[in-house]
Amino acid sequence: MNRDCCEPVGLKYMEQKPSEKQVEARNSLPEELKPVFDDFVADYKYAATMRHGRPYISYIVLADMVRASWRPSAEPYKQE
């Protein structure tokens, strides 16, 4: 899927087999938070790839943020 900066949060990008660290971080969360984590990972992977050319992700940090109530609060800002 080709994404640009203005697509909605939560779209899947770069579908590939999850790493062992991703699975470990995801499994540290309760079931109801796993979909939030999955969307966050997909968005973060996309943003990191666009910024750095490849994703640099600390999955356990993302899991900690989800556990601490991180949620998208608004639609993405659309630059003109």
Q: Where do the domains of the chain lie?
A: 20-67
Model confidence at 15: pLDDT above 50: yes
Higher-pLDDT residue of 34 and 17 is 34
Position 80 confidence tier, pLDDT thresholds 50, 70, 90: low
pTM of the predicted model over 0.85: no
Q: Which residue reads 């995801």 in tokens?
A: 26
Amino acid 16: pLDDT: 73
Region of 10 (left: φ > 0; alpha: ψ -120 to 50; beta: rest) is left
Q: pLDDT digits over 18-71, tens only? A: 999 999 999 999 999 999 999 999 999 999 999 888 888 899 999 999 999 988
Which residue pairs, CB below 8 angstroms and at least 24 apart, start in 1-6?
A: 3/46, 5/50, 5/76, 5/78, 5/79, 6/76, 6/78, 6/79
Higher-pLDDT residue of 76 and 58 is 58
φ/ψ of residue 65, rounded to 5: -65, -40
